[in-house]
Amino acid sequence: MILAVSILIMASVLALVLFVREKDLPQAPPASPVEHLESRKAVIYDNLRDLNFEYRLGKLSDADYGKSKLTLQNELAGVLAEIDRIAHGVSAARAVVRAQTVAQKAAGEVKGLKCPHCGAVFEKTMKFCGECGKTMEGQA
C-alpha cells in the first residue's frame, strides 16, 4: 500500500515537472536597451576614482596619470553619448558634447571644482579648498 502511494506521488511530481506549460511561467522583465552601458559607465567611474587615488599615493607618474585619465575620459564620453542617443533620442553630435562635459566634471576639470594647490575635486564652486584650506582664486 505504501509502495503504491509513493509511486503515485512520484508520478504526479514527475508529471508536474515535465509538463509545465510555457504560458504558466512568469514573464521575464524586458531588458533595458542601456543596461549594459550603465554598468560600463559605473566601471569607468570606479576606474577614474581608483586612478586618482593611486596618483595621489604617488604610484603613477604625471605622464602615466594624464594618459590614463584621458583614455578613461574619452571612453566615458563615448558611453555617455551612446546612453543619451539611445535613451533620450538626442542627436549624436549633441550627445558627444554633453557627455564630454559630464566626463570633465567627473574628473574635476571644470573651473571651480578643482583646487589649484592640492588638486582636490569638489561638487560645487567654493572660495576655500575643503582639503588644504587655501583660497581657490581664479577658479570661479
Alpha-carbon span 30 to 91, nearest angstrom: 25
Which residue, among 140, 138, 134, 95, has the nearest Cα to 117 in the 3D structure? Answer: 134
Q: What cell does 70 get?
A: 584621458
The CA-atom distances, in angstroms, between 111 and each of 19, 60, 77, 124, 133 are 65, 24, 19, 10, 17
Is the model's pLDDT at 139 over the cut of 50? no
Write out pLDDT tens, residues 79-125. Answer: 888 888 887 775 665 666 666 666 666 655 555 567 777 777 776 77
Write out pLDDT tens, residues 10-43. Answer: 999 998 888 877 887 788 877 788 888 899 999 9
Alpha-carbon span 99 to 130, nearest angstrom: 27
Identify whether the C-beta of residue 122 lies closer than 8 Å to the C-beta of residue 105.
no
Write out pLDDT tens, residues 43-76. Answer: 999 999 999 999 999 998 999 999 999 999 889 8
Q: Which residues pair with 135 in a beta bridge?
A: 128
Identify whether the C-beta of residue 131 lies closer than 8 Å to the C-beta of residue 72.
no
